[in-house]
Amino acid sequence: MGVSPSRPQSRSLPHSNTTASRSVSITNKKLSLTPDSEGIKTGTLPSKSNLREPRATTIQADNVPANTDSDSEDSYWDLDINFKPEVGVLDAIVAKAWHPNNPSTKPHDLREYHTIDSSDYVFPSDEIEQDRIELIHYLLRHVFKSDIICPSVRNLMDSAKHCLKVLDVGCAKGFWLDSVQKVYPKAEYHGVDIAEKLINGEHAPQRAEIVFGNILDRLPYSDNSFDFVHQRLLMMGIPKHYFPACISELIRVTKPGGYVELIETDIILGNMGPIMEKYTKLCHEAMTIRAGVDGYAATNLPFYVKVQGKAAAHRGVRSVRIPLNWNGPIGKMAADGMVETLMAMMDWLHLVLSISRKEYQELVDQCVQEWGPHKTFVTYQVVYFQVVK
Ligand SMILES: C[S@@+](CC[C@H](N)C(=O)[O-])C[C@H]1O[C@@H](n2cnc3c(N)ncnc32)[C@H](O)[C@@H]1O
């Protein structure tokens, strides 16, 4: 399938020019590290020795060097933009900060968020967020050359004699569903998301049936309902220890002999500069305290699938490292997506960092400045398998 890296024009984001260069002062402040339920220290970047190496077919973007991140267990956060957390206070800051699950604490000028109790998902659900998701959708289509990565699923869709049923979990406004439907118009398309506004709103896609569904609960379908189940970029909505259970739920709603395809990204980038590394370290720690996220969800995805045992057969893995702000138009597009991602966390993260919105934007500007010179890259990984029951 021919895929263009461009996407339709979308509205501009409410953030500052990311090419500005500003200075940062440095101090040393030690943060608390709290053991989580698995006994792993939250906020500590996993050392490479703790990560199991996936057997992946790696498609490496041209000139992306091997990851040379340090294995340092340094627990000092020393970036100071009026941000001075004391020892042991980050948990309290995260707990106190505004939370979508508690709308009564929401200031007026914030963006729109889901409001369900059972999810700590931090990203907004408004139209600006849909623009971000759409950009990343087009980026991934271009990089993977298709919306469906698993060759067996493409063969199945090409040769189907009966109407196949396809489900997208965490479908947002339905960009992936729309794209796939254009190539395979005869299948029946379904989507679930926790963002109720998208489901009932004027922008809900016409060609798919999208309903409320939370992968952290039971999906609203009976066993063996779908021929193909797709789930992409839910790592901020699924706590690390829930991942295997969520994949089991995907298997439950898939027919025997049907397929599941998952795509995740690592929150922790490769080849980070010092400011990006510090931003990531704190952001990851805060996200871990708040939502138990896996900073290496993409890297760990094959192992979350592997624990499904024989239910997940004929597994395939593909990974890609996409340059940020270097190596041509894809690097530029990926950088735009990453800026939008960092800005999408601003409402919450600037409170956690105890800095103003303007200072947060300046911090993002400084991170952007580092990506090119440091050859920073973002990792995505796809895992697909056939369901055996
Ligand atoms: C980063 S977006 C990705 C959207 C889409 N999968 C794509 O790749 O184009 C994540 C989506 O997952 C949804 N989401 C987050 N937590 C969820 C959950 N527990 N169950 C279902 N959807 C969830 C969000 O509302 C959001 O629309």
Mean pLDDT, range 254-278, rounded to an integer: 96
pLDDT at residue number 354: 81
Shortest-distance Cα residue to atom 16 of ligand 1: 237
Give the Cα-Cα-Cα angle 193, 300, 195 (nearest 5 degrees).
Answer: 10
- The rounded distance, in Å, linking the Cα atoms of 190 and 208 is 5
Distance from residue 131's CA to the centre of ligand 1 (Å)? 14
State pTM to two decimals. Answer: 0.81
Task: For residue 80, give both structure tokens.
Answer: 């100071």
Mean pLDDT, range 32-43, rounded to an integer: 27
Ligand 1 first shell, C-beta below 6 A: 114, 119, 121, 125, 133, 137, 169-172, 175-176, 192-195, 213-216, 232-234, 237
Task: For residue 335, give both structure tokens.
Answer: 């950088």
pLDDT digits (tens, 9 = 90+) for 332-372: 999 999 999 999 999 888 888 888 889 999 999 999 999 99
Architecture label for domain 67-264+274-293+333-370: 3-Layer(aba) Sandwich (3.40)
Residue 286 pLDDT > 80: yes
Sequence-ordered list of residues with C-beta below 8 angstroms from that of 2, at least 6 positions apart, any chain: none
Shortest-distance Cα residue to atom 3 of ligand 1: 233
Shortest-distance Cα residue to atom 24 of ligand 1: 170
Distance from residue 191's CA to the centre of ligand 1 (Å)? 10
- Give the mutation target among 118, 175, 181, 194 for probing the ligand 1 site: most ligand atoms within 8 A of CB: 194
Shortest-distance Cα residue to atom 12 of ligand 1: 170
Distance from residue 176's CA to the centre of ligand 1 (Å)? 12
Cα four-point dihedral sign 7, 143, 67, 323: negative
pLDDT digits (tens, 9 = 90+) for 160-172: 989 999 999 999 9
Distance from residue 100's CA to the centre of ligand 1 (Å)? 15
Distance from residue 243's CA to the centre of ligand 1 (Å)? 14
Residue 220 pLDDT > 90: yes
Residue 326 pLDDT > 70: yes
Distance from residue 25's CA to the centre of ligand 1 (Å)? 36
Cα four-point dihedral sign 7, 8, 9, 11: negative
Nearest to 378 by CA among 261, 271, 235: 271
Shortest-distance Cα residue to atom 23 of ligand 1: 170
Average pLDDT, the chain: 78
pLDDT at residue number 103: 64
pLDDT digits (tens, 9 = 90+) for 53-103: 223 333 344 444 433 333 333 322 333 334 444 445 567 677 666 666 666
Burial, 106: exposed, middle or buried (Cβ in 10 Å; 0-12, 13-18, 19+)? Answer: middle
1 vs 139: which has the higher pLDDT: 139
- The rounded distance, in Å, linking the Cα atoms of 276 and 274 is 6
Residue 118 pLDDT > 60: yes
Residue 50 DSSP one-character state:
G
Report residue 70 CA to chain centroid gap.
Answer: 23
